[in-house]
Amino acid sequence: MIYLIEYNRTLGTVTRMRSFPDAERKCAEDERLQVELRRNQARENVEVVLLEAPSEEALRKTHRRYFEDIVQLVQSSATSTG
């Protein structure tokens, strides 16, 4: 699966996430470009990314910074190293 994520840097939260089947890569890329252009034109502090993962669960594990706040990230880091 391909995931289009809009991440509000100011708030530290995902404001929108949409998934696409692998076969719709071109559609996902086109949408990412349109969203990024629109957000940049509006001067919004938003990161727009396309990420690949076998599932949303896997994506949430491999790209935790988009889905967890700083406290959760620090706690997870302390647990995994301690």
How many C-beta atoms lie closer than 10 Å to residue 20's C-beta?
Answer: 19
CA distances from 66 to 3, 9, 15, 24, 75 (A): 12, 9, 10, 23, 15
Q: Is 19 left (phi over 0), alpha (psi -120 to 50) or beta?
A: beta
Confidence at residue 24, expressed as pLDDT on a 0 to 100 scale? 97
Indicate whether 66 pLDDT > 80. yes
Cα–Cα distance, 74 to 30 (Å, whole number): 35
pLDDT tens, residue by residue, 10-25? 888 999 999 999 999 9
